[in-house]
Amino acid sequence: MRIAVVGTGYVGLVSAACFARAGQHVACIDIDDKKISMLDQGEIPIYEPGLADAIIEGRSRNRLSFASDASAAKDADVVFIAVGTPARPSDGHADLSQIYAAVEGLAPVLKDGSIIVTKSTVPLGTGDAIEHMIRSVRPELDFDVASNPEFLRAGCALNDFMRPDRDVIGAQDDFAAARLMKLYRNVGIQRQRILVTDRRSAELIKYAANGFLATKIAFINEVAGLCEKANARIGDVTRAIGLDHRIGMQYLQPGPGFGGSCFPKDARALAKMGEDYEAPMRVIETVLASNEARKRSMARRVAVSHHGALRGKTIALLGLPFKAGTDDMRDAVSIPLAQGLTDAGAILRAYDPVAMDRARDLLPPRVRFCGSALEAAEGSDAVVVVTEWKEFSRLDFRKLRKVMRTPLIIDLRNLLDERELQSIGFRYLGIGGSRRHAFERSPASKSPRRASIQRTRDAEEALESIVAGE
Ligand SMILES: NC(=O)c1ccc[n+]([C@@H]2O[C@H](COP(=O)([O-])OP(=O)(O)OC[C@H]3O[C@@H](n4cnc5c(N)ncnc54)[C@H](O)[C@@H]3O)[C@@H](O)[C@H]2O)c1
């Protein structure tokens, strides 16, 4: 099968590279000439682990080609559309203008027997609209329109594509479904991982999945807020509920609110679909409101740590994208956080290992971008961990403390070791209450046995020693 992928963003490039790895010939098409000429010269426009190698490999085997004209799809048996579907600023509906522009470009060049597949996340009924558009231009053309939503996660996208929990194929025609299934079987996806359904259900599956995950995050963030007020510990709560296999550990890490290119806009689009179909999505509407409030409250959290007086204080932001492993800055919490802190008069210094170029135009103009975490922390009154990059947990904290004016760390990801930082002399503020064991936090006991328990580094060990002594 010859494949074309329209849109060379995170999803398009990863899909194309993985199909090429599986031996397919893939024509990649994008209207962004600059991107196409970069790709043509072997430069990769985005950061995604493993992607550069996969693209270099595909090019060297002549399985990947890049073009800015839709006519490059003229020989394709399967055309994947992977263009953006951002939220429409006016009302939050999915903006389908990139989809329709792509279809307009493709319609005149499609060959008989081709399958046009939406990999982009598109609302219910988009496949019907695409079918109608193509039929109105090419009434004689034999073609199918299918839905194959993508579930990859930025940061581990290639692995997710090659080893998905499931692939969903939504088609109105068994023959089209079978051809797409064959394509994925060739990539190495097992039959039992491929779910075949109708086109509308496939379109909805993607929104329902993202809506559910967003709900989990918003829920645990609210529980974390309750822990802070009620002196309970979110770490123990998440561990205990996550061990319930009906709930599971994933997407239960409390943080500054969800962002990124998918959850916020997909949750909004799902709420809008509910309105359109008169099937209200009240849960999702609440999740969205809760998440917005959460993101906005992060600047306040930093201000409270300085008793509301941020004017003239220097704050270091470590990490800028919406999560670690990507340079994707879409809807990243660092944006409203930096704005809120700047509005309150703080002086900002920022560092990120991969996203500084993308962040420059999105953060307030006076943010100073630094070459390392240590440089960002110089002279600061607080270091705020915004993105959970592993390298931040391996910093030399003694050195960090020396360069800071005030030894305060605000860890919005509960990434760092609270106990270690406190022992070095930092004031540490995580999310959802202290993670230190109750024994360690209680005042020193007069009982020698209890005192020895308090000295025990590992609280689990301390408990074991009581149990063993009884
Ligand atoms: N990023 C993710 O992690 C992810 C995961 C799953 C699904 N999705 C969905 O996949 C879709 C694409 O997301 P993305 O993050 O890859 O988007 P992106 O914005 O990174 O890339 C979209 C690309 O499409 C190109 N484009 C726009 N209009 C075009 C046209 N008419 N013809 C050719 N190219 C055109 C743009 O220039 C851009 O390079 C979205 O619907 C998104 O919701 C994204």
170 phi/psi in degrees, rounded to 5: -115, 115
Sign of CA dihedral 94, 95, 98, 100: positive
**Bridge partners of residue 94, in order along the sequence:** 87
pLDDT category of residue 467 using cuts at 50, 70 and 90 = confident
pLDDT category of residue 470 using cuts at 50, 70 and 90 = low
pTM of the full structure:
0.93
Tell which CATH classification among 3.40.50.720, 2.40.50.140, 3.30.930.10, 1.20.140.10 matches the domain 216-429: 3.40.50.720
Amino acid at 153: R
pLDDT category of residue 381 using cuts at 50, 70 and 90 = very high
Mutate to test the pocket of ligand 1, among 30, 130, 156, 326 (most ligand atoms within 8 A of CB): 30
pLDDT category of residue 17 using cuts at 50, 70 and 90 = very high
Residues with CB under 6 A from ligand 1: 6-12, 29-32, 35, 82-85, 98, 101-102, 105, 120-121, 150, 152, 154, 261-262
Residue 262 known to be catalytic: yes
Q: Express each pLDDT in 250-294 by its tens digit.
A: 999 999 999 999 999 999 999 999 999 999 999 999 999 999 999
- Fill in the DSSP letter of residue 9: S
pLDDT of residue 461: 72
Q: Express each pLDDT in 23-51 by its tens digit.
A: 999 999 999 999 999 999 889 999 999 99
Q: Of 323, 321, 325, 332, nearest to 295 (Cα)?
A: 332
The answer, yes or no, to whether residue 455 has pLDDT greater than 60, is no
The answer, yes or no, to whether residue 456 has pLDDT greater than 50, is no
- Other Cβ atoms less than 10 A from the Cβ of 33: the count is 10
Q: Express each pLDDT in 331-347 by its tens digit.
A: 999 999 999 999 999 99
**Contact in structure between 103 and 85 (CB atoms under 8 Å):** no
**Contact in structure between 320 and 355 (CB atoms under 8 Å):** yes
For the domain spanning 2-197, the CATH number is 3.40.50.720
- H/E stretch holding 397: helix 397-403
Average confidence (pLDDT) over 221-247:
96
Expressed in angstroms and rounded, the spacing between residue 261 Cα and the centre of ligand 1 is 10
Map out the domains of the chain as residue ranges: 2-197, 216-429, 440-469
- Other Cβ atoms less than 10 A from the Cβ of 274: the count is 18
pLDDT category of residue 465 using cuts at 50, 70 and 90 = confident
DSSP per position, 50-88: THHHHHHHHHHTT-EEEESSGGGGTT-SEEEE----PBP
Report the percent of the chain where pLDDT is more than 70: 94
Asked which of 91-95, 164-168, 276-280, 448-452 is least confident by mean pLDDT, the reply is 448-452
The answer, yes or no, to whether residue 428 has pLDDT greater than 50, is yes
pLDDT category of residue 173 using cuts at 50, 70 and 90 = very high
Expressed in angstroms and rounded, the spacing between residue 323 Cα and the centre of ligand 1 is 18
Helical segments of 259-368, H only: 263-276, 282-305, 334-343, 356-360
Average pLDDT, the chain: 94
Measured between alpha carbons, how far is 458 from 83 in angstroms, rounded to an integer? 50
Domains 2-197 and 216-429 are alike in CATH topology = yes
Measured between alpha carbons, how far is 152 from 141 in angstroms, rounded to an integer? 32
Q: Of 164, 6, 162, nearest to 82 (Cα)?
A: 6
pLDDT of residue 165: 97
The answer, yes or no, to whether residue 444 has pLDDT greater than 70, is no
Q: Express each pLDDT in 382-392 by its tens digit.
A: 999 999 999 99
DSSP per position, 168-225: EEE-SSHHHHHHHHHHHHHHT--GGGEEEE-HHHHHHHHHHHHHHHHHHHHHHHHHHH
Report the percent of the chain where pLDDT is more than 90: 91
Mutate to test the pocket of ligand 1, among 6, 47, 83, 133 (most ligand atoms within 8 A of CB): 83
DSSP per position, 115-183: EEEE-S---TTHHHHHHHHHHHH-TT--EEEEE------TTSHHHHHHS-S-EEEE-SSHHHHHHHHHH
- Which residue has a Cα nearest atom 31 of ligand 1? 102
Average confidence (pLDDT) over 118-142:
98
